[in-house]
Every structure is written in structure tokens, then in C-alpha cells.
Amino acid sequence: MSATEALFQRYGPVYRAYATGTVMIATISVVLSTTIVNVAIPDVMGAFGISAVQAQWLSTGFLAAMTATMLLGDWADRAFGLRLSLNVALAVFLGGSVLGGLAPNQGVLTLARVVQGAAAGVVQPLSMILLFRVFPPDKRGAAMGIFGIGVVLAPALGPWLGGLLIDAFDWRWVFYLGLPPSVMAIVLANLFVPGRDAVGPRPGFDWTGLGLLVVFLASLLNALTNAQRLGWSSDPILLQFAISAAAAVGFVAWELRTAKPMLDLRLFRNVPFASASVVAFVMGAGLFGSTYLVPLFVQTIQGLTPTQAGLLLMPSGFVLVFIFPLAGQLSDKLPATLLIGGGMALFAWSSWLTAAVEINTGFWTLAWWTILSRVGLGFVFPAISAGPLKTLPRELIGQGSGAMNFIRQLGGAFGVNLLAVFMERRTMLHADAFAATQTSDNPATMALLQEVGSIVHTAGLPDTQAMAAASQFLAQMVVIQANTAAFRDGFLVVTLIFVIALIPTAIMHYASTRATSSRAVHPPSGGGPSDPVQQQSRTPLPD
């Protein structure tokens, strides 16, 4: 009797609810930290005297570390079992959280975020492996829908909760928020998560592959972060791009030849899975990119407080509580590609609407646009999580789960980083364009300077300083308008990416339909189930 079957025998069919609740709490505790720091970035910049690009590593470093360790889930399960692996990952996450709260400088704070991200990357694939182990194939979509509440609700609520803590205490408290749910998840894991089934020697780990992956991510993301400051053609940046390219090629070559790959590239021979991977990458970029852009815009342009900025994302989080279970049930009954295509189109529409944002855009208008985007993602997540894995053979389920999470988080890491770089460049471009028109030959500019000069003179400022004050006011207006235009460009880019992602969605639909037709015409011999995932358990688990 396996460890999972023993838990079913002890608790009965209700064990599925216990297991789902356990992994949801564990996932929420780690995913919450993904975006909760976003609203604290202005305070961290002021506390340590760092630039926005340097502060961006608090988010990018977390996502990069999370991305690199997501491929460890399958190996950790086979080597140590789900229970021990989950406990160790959550304990490391707790240590990183405490370190972040006590960080004396930017370096230690960034290290704490990397430690948090590395632990968080192991938790998510372990959670999906457990759900696929305890739910039958025809109920996995609904399970992914419930599990997805934690994956997407936590990033939505994180900025609001972080804002409350910052306004009530200070930015350090955002690191302590994940401590209670992490401790609770450890307690529940020891009750409801199965241990290791396998006997004999533990499988070896692909340390070479992990090293190459870390070098690739660190070099590329660091180059993207500093390229604007040092110059895109400068020697340090070109060297880092070359190192990242060499590491990427080395990683692929090594994974193809090693006997114990961290990422089994056979996964991508499966066309539906490969197409779904592209969609998952775009989904991660859109989710984390928009979660980064919206709070930053309302704080830097509209002057909202951290609490108000976080509150803006809260309605969309509550909507997901209702959308995810519905989307999960639909993903068990409808083609996954139908839900994915509809959800991506809805997110693209939301981004298109948000591209019209300006300094006077109302709070509830922005909240509605955000709700629309989360509804779209709510339909995409269960389908993209469960649908492609159903097409994989049993021995690749663990690898597929880790790979899908890895690719989604990779999209998030690159989405946030590239959007930050894009925004900086577009802000400079728009600022130069706007400043070039503010000359003495522009009657609107001169009228504004005279009006502002008159106002400050009436307020008591001497004539010798009135024009200087008016010029400073004009410069601030140019900066605000340039930033606003850059934000609009950012949302337009997100729109374009989601529209392009409909192409791999169509390819996935065609490949899935063709595979289904092929199985119908040529059923497997022996009367066994046509879905390889249905052969996953030798002993049927209770319904």
C-alpha cells in the first residue's frame, strides 16, 4: 500500500479536501511574497538610497530564484517524498522571510528575496504533484481551479495587505506576513501529505543542469536590469549576454545527453504540451507584469498610498474566488483550448482598455479593467495546468508539472524585468519629445508659464523667482506626462503579446483535436484506457 493510499484509508474520500487545503495554504504563503514587495519598493528606495532599477531586483531576484528551483519538484518527490520536501522548502522560506525583515542593507535584502524565491519555487510543483496523485483524471480540472485560487488570488491580495502593513507599521512587516500561513502549512503537511513511497537508493540530481540554468537566468536578468544604465553595447553588458547565451546552449545540450535530466526535453515533442508552454510563458508575463505596472502607476502618477494601491487589486482577487471553481469544472467538460483562447482574448481586451490610462482615470475604472484581466486569467489557469498534462505518459507527469510551473514563472521573471526596462526607455523617449516642444515659440507653453508665474507671485514669491518656479512646474508636468505615456506603451505591449499568444493556442487546439481523432480511429489494444494518465495508479482511489 502506498503512502497516499494509506492516507485515503485513514481519512476516507474527504482526504482530497484535506490535501487540497494543505497545498493551498502552502502555496498562498509563498506566492503572497511574489507581489507583496511591489508596494514597498518606493519605501525601500528611500530607506537604502537606491534607484528604481536596483530596487527592481527585489522582485526580479525572487522570480528568477523561483524559476530556477521549480524543476526540483519531481526530483525532490522521488528522492525524499512530498512531505519532507514540502517541510524543508517551507522552513527555508521562513528563514528567508525573517532575514528580509531584519535586513540592514540592500544586499542582504536582495539575498533574502532570492532565498524566499528559491523555496517558493519548490513548493508549487510539489503541490500540483500531490493534487494529480489524489484526484482522478476527470476531476483534475476542478482541482486545478480550486488550487488556482491560491496561485492567482495571493498575488492580487499581496499589494493590498502589504500596503496596510506599510501604512500601519513600515515596509519590513511585509516580510513577516507569510510566517503564520507557512507555519500552519508545515503542521498540516505532517498530517495530510504522504511520505516517500520508493525504497532503495535515492535518485541522483542534475547539479550541472541547475548550475547552467542559474548562470543563464542571473546573467540575462542582470544584463537587462543594468543595460540602460551602463549602455546596451558596453563591454560588461555584452559579456553578460554572451555568458547567458552560452549557458542556455550548454543547458539544452546537457539535458539532452545526461541520464538524469532536471528538465526532460522529451516533454516538448508533445505538440499540445509545447504549445501550452508558450501560452503559460505569456500568461506569467501578463500576470506578474500587470501586477507590477498597475500599483506602480497609481503610486507614482496618481499619488495613491500603498494601501490604496493594493486595494485597487483586491476586487479582482475576490472575483477569482468565484471564477476559478467554475473555470475548473468547465475545463473538465470543454476543450482546454476553448477556455484558454477566450481567457487570453479577455486579458488582451483588458490591457487594451488600460492603455488609455491617464492621471485622472478613476479608481473604479482601473479596478474594473483589472477585474476583467483576472477573469480572463481565471479561465486560462485551470485549463493550462490540467489540460496539457493529460496528454503526457505517466513517467513524465512529475516533470511536466514542474516544467509548466517553471515556464510560467520564467515568463513572470522576464515580463517584470523587460517591462521595467521598456518603461525606462520609453519614459526617456517621451520626455525628450515633450521637452523639445516646450520653447518660447510655443504659445501654450508661454501662456502656462505666465499663468503659473502669476499664481506663485500672488502667493508671495518674488518676481525674480516666479519664472523659475513656473519652469520647474513645467518640467514636472513633462516628467509626469512622459511617465504616463510610457505606462500606456507598456499596456499596449502586453495587449500585443496576448494577441500573439492566440497563435500557439490555435496550434494546441489543432494538435489536441488530431490526437483525439487518432485515438478514436485507432484505440489502444487490450481495452485499456486511451489516456495514459488514467494508468497512473495501479490501485483505484476512492471517488
Contacts of 6 (CB under 8 A, 6+ apart): 194
Contacts of 321 (CB under 8 A, 6+ apart): 149, 153
The answer as to whether 37 is a domain residue is yes
Q: Residue 423's domain is classified under what CATH number?
A: 1.20.1250.20
In order of 2, 74, 126, 195, 360, the CA distances from 200 in angstroms are 15, 17, 21, 14, 65
Q: Supply the pLDDT for residue 534.
A: 38
The answer as to whether 366 is a domain residue is yes
The answer as to whether 145 is a domain residue is yes
Q: Supply the pLDDT for residue 226.
A: 76
The answer as to whether 233 is a domain residue is no
Regions of the chain short of the pLDDT cut 50: 524-540
Radius of gyration from C-alpha coordinates of the chain: 25
Q: Supply the pLDDT for residue 532.
A: 37
Q: What is the pLDDT of residues 26-73, one digit of tens each?
A: 888 888 777 677 677 778 888 888 776 677 777 777 877 887 888 888
Q: Supply the pLDDT for residue 526.
A: 44
Q: Supply the pLDDT for residue 363.
A: 85
Kindly report the CA angle at 189 between 84 and 136, in degrees rounded to 5? 100
Q: Supply the pLDDT for residue 520.
A: 52
Number of structural domains the chain divides into: 1
Set of cell numbers at residue 230: 551602463
Alpha carbon 387 to chain centroid distance? 20
The Cα 189–Cα 29 span in angstroms is 13
The answer as to whether 9 is a domain residue is yes
The answer as to whether 24 is a domain residue is yes
Q: In which residue are the cell numbers 494509506 written?
A: 6
Instruction: Give kind and range of the element (H or E) at residue 286.
Output: helix 271-300
The answer as to whether 505 is a domain residue is yes
The Cα 75–Cα 261 span in angstroms is 10
Q: Is 411 in contact with 285 (CB distance < 8 Å)?
A: yes
Q: Based on the number of CB atoms within 10 Å of its own CB, is 390 exposed (0-12), middle (13-18) or buried (19 or more)?
A: buried
The answer as to whether 389 is a domain residue is yes
Q: Which domain holds residue 97?
A: 3-196+262-430+480-518
Alpha helices (runs of H) in 303-335, residue ranges in sequence order: 306-333
Please give the DSSP secondary-structure letter assigned to residue 72. G
Q: What is the pLDDT of residues 168-195, one digit of tens each?
A: 888 888 888 888 989 999 999 998 888 8
Q: Is 487 in contact with 470 (CB distance < 8 Å)?
A: no
Alpha carbon 356 to chain centroid distance? 24
